[in-house]
Each structure stands twice: as C-alpha cells, then as structure tokens.
C-alpha cells in the first residue's frame, strides 16, 4: 500500500507537539534563503573566534550534504519565554545578568531527547528504520534560515528567528529525513521599518540590519571569547556575566509570546539574579555544582570569573572591593587581569581618595609578584589611568 505522505506529515507534526514542541513545520530539501550571505559574512571575519562556523561552509549552506537522499527537513521550536526577562535584572548592578536561555537546563540535551522519541515514533509508524539526522544547534546547518523557509517565522533585523506567535523565544531543533513530505510555505518578513533591536544593541553589533557582527557582540565576548575581553567593550558589559538579551527583548513581536508552560524551561532560582559577591567566591567544584547541565557549564569557571570581575568593576561600589581583591589573587591570569581593570574602576570613584589609595597599594603589591606579562600589562595600564585621574 502506498504511503499517504500528506497524512504522514500531519501525523508527524501532531506527534511533535505531543512530545513537547510548541511548533513544527517542514522546509524543502534545498539551501535556505539567502545562504550565500553566510559565506560573505565568513569572508569578512564577522564570526570572530568561532572557527567551527568556517569549516566546510558548503555543508552548512546546503543541507543535502548532511543526508543523501534528503526529502524533507522537519524544523521544530520550543517556547522558553520567561516570566521575567534578564533586562529587568540589569537595573540592580550588584547582581549578575544571565541570558534567559541559559537560566534553565541546557536545551541541547533535552530537545535531543525529544527528537529521539519522535524519531522512534516515526519508525514505529512506518514499521521500519528510517535514515535520519537529528540536530540541536550541533551540526553544520543554518537553522534560522531553514526555520524561516519552513514558515515558523522570519529572520529579523537582529538576525534571530521572529515568530508571530512566540516572538524571538523559540529554541530550534531539526530532523532531516529522506521522506518526500510536502514543505510548508514561508511567511513574509514583518519587521517593516522597526529598528528597536538595532537601537537596543549596546555595542552597535547590529549596525546593519540582518547582520550580526560577532566581534562587537557582548554575548560573543562573554560566551565565545576565550581570551581577554577587549578593553573598549568592558564598560558596555554592565553586569552581564553570560550573554546579552537586549536585541531579543526589544523586539515588539515578543508581546505575543505566552510565558512558557514547559517546566523544563523554568529558570533555576540561583541563576535568575545571582549576587556578584557570591559569584566571585566560586571555585571549580562550586561552579560545576551551580551550573551543572546548563549552558553556563561550557564556559568553565575561569571565563565565568573573568566576566564577574568586569561586572564588579562596572558596579563601581566600595562593597565590590574585597571580591575584586580576591580575584586579583586568583590562580588564572585571565581572572587576575580583569580584576585589575575592575579595581581601577573602583579607584576612579569620585570623592573617595582613600579607596583609590588602598587600591593603588594592592595593585602595586600584585605587580611585584606577578609573573604573567599580560596581567602585568593590565596592572600597569590600570595604575597609569588611576594616577592620571587622581592627579587630574
């Protein structure tokens, strides 16, 4: 008996919703719209240190390289819209801001589990194994353009997928199948003349619509950057310690997004607005315990403390002094160097000469015992700028 492909498609869509996905749509087995711009983006080094994006770009721009034959791409979205966005936390400078998607269980593992259950259902339905690829931001695939091709939304000026039902709050996953399931049609781009996401970016990483310059993005610096955060971007970080949601939160389509009812995406209380003073005390063991099975786990305690040191400096409150002194003595040079910068920010507080003198002494003592050339350079720059400000 021949397979009724349209009926199978709708049954697969309904089962995807039953597995916990909020939306499911089908893209054609072809390069997604505007795939050629990805190669131009790479040629301009807009991807920064994310070298994996530049590997085999022909595979990333054409999903037919990932499965042969490829009949359809099922694109799935899970709504993780929080009740309270991190942007509201930013007003309390004593607390760290963590991007909403990172405040709960790592979506990669959970969506992969749901994909596997969905694939098992499909094979049971057909009564035979099915060749497939299951991807959750883990393979060479342009998933946002594919989601746009499938009709889940359109790629907005902030480069993110914008859904008319869920705004920018969909976590994506894909199932590549050899089955000739009919595709769904794309939606029109409804960004119009709106520029809110572009204007919300604190570092002009979205100077051009639809094009994210990773080398200017605070999410990139706090997550992907392995080395020092460039000095010109440290003040703009504010109290962000993992990611940046500003361009996402600014999108007016988010007002239609219902707060998620999926318990898997409820934020962990410890990650909603962690006190910077507490974050500064974390060691390898306590960091792993706090961040276990969340996206923060992947950056490790050293990069996390690097971010915390910058946030403490931007807090610019005397209460941050003991924490920054503690980080100035950390075993990792990356942490010590950023702690020196943070101490400089405290020393430059107006009307507090005694605090500046104390910090100058701490930095001078650290300079005497410091063995790392980069940290010594950071300490030297901090002391020079402090002297200039105090004398001036």
Nearby residues of 336 by Cβ (< 8 Å), 6 or more positions away? 327, 328, 329, 330, 366, 370, 372, 375, 378
Alpha-carbon dihedral sign for residues 279, 283, 289, 293: positive
Question: Residue 258 carries which DSSP code?
Answer: P
From the list 45, 62, 80, 137, the catalytic residue is: 137
152, 25 Cβ separation under 8 angstroms: yes
Q: How far is CA 174 from CA 111, 146, 181, in A?
A: 10, 9, 14
Q: Is 80 an annotated catalytic residue?
A: no
Which class for 103: exposed (0-12), middle (13-18), buried (19 or more C-beta within 10 A)?
buried
Question: For residue 167, what are the β-bridge partners?
Answer: 163
Q: How far is CA 379 from CA 298, 326, 366, 370, in A?
A: 28, 15, 8, 9
Q: Is 154 helix (H, G, I), strand (E, B) or coil?
A: strand
Residue 228 gets the label, from left (phi > 0), alpha (psi -120 to 50) or beta, of beta
Closest CA to 245 of 46, 101, 384: 101
**340 alpha carbon, distance to own chain's centre:** 26
What's the rounded Cα separation, in Å, for the pair 191 and 252? 9
Closest CA to 301 of 276, 326, 284: 284
Alpha-carbon dihedral sign for residues 178, 180, 181, 186: positive
Residues serving a catalytic function are 137
């Amino acid at each position: 008996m021949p397979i009724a492909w349209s009926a199978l498609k709708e049954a697969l869509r309904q089962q995807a919703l039953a597995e916990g996905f909020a939306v499911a749509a089908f893209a054609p087995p072809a390069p997604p719209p505007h795939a050629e711009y990805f190669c131009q983006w790479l040629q301009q080094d807009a991807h920064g240190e994310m070298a994996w994006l530049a590997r085999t770009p022909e595979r990333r721009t054409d999903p037919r390289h990932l499965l042969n034959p490829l009949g359809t791409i099922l694109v799935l979205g899970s709504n993780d819209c929080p009740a309270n966005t991190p942007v509201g936390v930013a007003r309390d400078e004593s607390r760290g801001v963590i991007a909403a998607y990172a405040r709960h269980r790592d979506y990669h593992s959970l969506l992969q589990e749901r994909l596997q259950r969905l694939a098992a259902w499909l094979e049971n339905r057909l009564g035979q194994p099915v060749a497939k690829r299951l991807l959750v931001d883990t393979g060479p695939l342009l998933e946002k353009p594919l989601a746009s091709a499938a009709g889940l939304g359109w790629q907005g000026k902030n480069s993110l997928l914008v859904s008319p039902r869920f705004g920018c709050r969909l976590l994506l996953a894909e199932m590549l199948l050899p089955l000739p399931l009919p595709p769904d049609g794309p939606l029109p781009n409804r960004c119009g003349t709106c520029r809110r996401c572009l204007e919300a970016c604190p570092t002009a990483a979205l100077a051009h619509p639809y094009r994210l310059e990773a080398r200017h993005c605070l999410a990139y610096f706090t997550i992907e950057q392995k080395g020092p955060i460039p000095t010109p971007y440290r003040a703009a970080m504010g109290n962000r310690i993992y990611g940046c949601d500003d361009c996402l939160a600014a999108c007016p389509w988010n007002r239609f997004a219902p707060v998620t009812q999926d318990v898997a995406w409820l934020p962990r209380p410890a990650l909603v607005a962690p006190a910077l003073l507490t974050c500064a005390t974390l060691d390898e063991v306590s960091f792993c315990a706090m961040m276990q099975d969340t996206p923060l786990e992947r950056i490790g305690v050293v990069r996390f403390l690097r971010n915390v040191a910058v946030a403490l400096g931007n807090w610019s409150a005397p209460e941050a002094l003991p924490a920054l002194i503690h980080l100035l003595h950390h075993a990792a040079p990356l942490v010590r160097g950023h702690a020196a910068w943070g101490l400089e920010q405290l020393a430059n507080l107006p009307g507090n000469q005694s605090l500046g003198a104390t910090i100058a002494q701490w930095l001078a003592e650290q300079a005497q015992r410091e063995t790392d050339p980069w940290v010594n350079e950071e300490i030297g720059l901090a002391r020079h700028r402090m002297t200039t400000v105090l004398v001036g």
